[in-house]
Chains A and B, each alone.
Chain A
C-alpha cells in the first residue's frame, strides 16, 4: 500500500458522500491481513469474524479522530489488537484461569481442518498460544506481520526496548517448546 493510496482512502472516508466507498476500499485492502492477525490471537473463526467487523466499524465511525500520525493499517492493527485483548481478558475473567483458556484455544486449534504437513504449524501455533499475552502479541506482530518495532510501539503503547525483550523471550520459549515436544 503506497502512501498515496492511503491518502486516497482517507480522503474518501472523510467526505460524507464518499464515506461508504472509502470503507469498501479500506476493507478490501486490509481485511485479509487484519483477519489473520486477529485469528492468530483469538484462534476461532467466529471470534475473528466478530472482531474484524468491529475493527472496521470502529474505524468507519471514528475516522474523524484519526490524526494521520500513523499509517491506516497500523491504526487498524491497533484497534484490532485492542479488541482481541478485550475479548481475551473478558474470557479470562469468565474462566478465572489463564491456563484453562490457553488449553481451550489449543484444543480448538486441534479441531480445525488441517491439511497434511500442517502438523508442524499447529505445534508452532501451540507454542505461541502458550506465551504470556504481551509476548504473544509482540511475537505475532513481528514474526507474522513483519511490522517494524516503531509501529508495534504505536499498536501496543510500549517502548522499543521492552518490545525487543519480549520478542527475545518469546523466541526462546517457542524454540524450547519446539525442541522438547
Chain B
C-alpha cells in the first residue's frame, strides 16, 4: 500500500479507543439516569393529576361546590358562617330570649326563630358590623359572667 502509518499507532489505538468508549458509556448512563428520573416524575405528576380529576368527576356535588367556592369567593362564605356562629353562641341571645319571655312584654317576645330570621335577612356587612359591636361590647362579657 502507498500509505504510511505513524510509529506505534496500532499499539496505542486500543487503549485510546477503550478510554473513549468508557467516557461515552459513562455519559450515556448519566443521560439515561436523568431522563429516567424525569420520566418517573412526569408519570407520577400525571397520575396524581388524573386521580384528582377522576375523584372530582365521580363526586359531582364536590366538584360543583369546589367550583362555586372558587368562583363566588370561599373566604366570604367562611366569614359569614363564622359570624353566624359567633352571634348564635353569644349568651346575649339566649338571655335576651329568656328574659324577654319571662317579662312577657305587650308587644310579645322575639322567639329564637324570629332572631334567626332577622339574622338571615341581614347583609354580610351588617353581620360583620354586628359581630364587631358584640365583640367590643364589654357588657356582653359581664352579662355572661352574671349568668354563669
Contact = CB atoms under 8 A, between A and B. Distances in A.
B85 to A, nearest CB: 69
Contacts of A53: 13, 16-17, 20
Interface stretch (B21-29, B42-50, B52-60): B21-29
A113 B5 CA distance: 10
Interface residues of B, number: 19
Interface in A53-99: 53, 56-57, 60-61
A122 B1 CA distance: 8
A14 to B, nearest CB: 15
Contact of B17 (A32, A43, A57, A121): A57
Contacts of A57: 17, 20-21, 24
Contact of B13 (A27, A39, A112): A27
Nearest to B4: A113
Interface residues of A, number: 28
B103 interface: no
A109 interface: yes
Interface string A96-110: 000000000000010
B140 to A, nearest CB: 81
Contacts of B10: 31-32, 35
A20 interface: yes
Tell me whether chain B's interface is mostly helix, strand or loop, or mixed. Answer: helix
B20 to A, nearest CB: 6
A45 B6 contact: yes
Residue with the greatest number of chain B CB neighbours at <10 A, chosen from A20, A57, A61: A57
A125 interface: yes
Interface in B1-44: 1-6, 9-10, 13-14, 16-18, 20-22, 24-25, 28
A159 B62 CA distance: 69
Interface in A18-53: 20, 23-24, 27-28, 31-32, 35-36, 39-40, 43, 45, 49, 52-53
Contacts of A125: 1-2
B2 A114 contact: yes
A146 interface: no
A52 B18 CA distance: 12
B21 A121 contact: no
A40 B2 CA distance: 10
A64 to B, nearest CB: 12
A39 B18 contact: no
Contacts of A114: 2
Given A23-B18, A24-B18, A45 B3 contact: yes
18 contacts: A23-B17, A24-B14, A24-B18, A32-B10, A36-B3, A39-B1, A40-B1, A40-B3, A43-B3, A45-B5, A49-B9, A52-B17, A53-B13, A57-B21, A57-B24, A61-B28, A112-B4, A122-B2
Interface of B: 1-6, 9-10, 13-14, 16-18, 20-22, 24-25, 28
Interface of A: 20, 23-24, 27-28, 31-32, 35-36, 39-40, 43, 45, 49, 52-53, 56-57, 60-61, 109, 112-114, 118, 121-122, 125
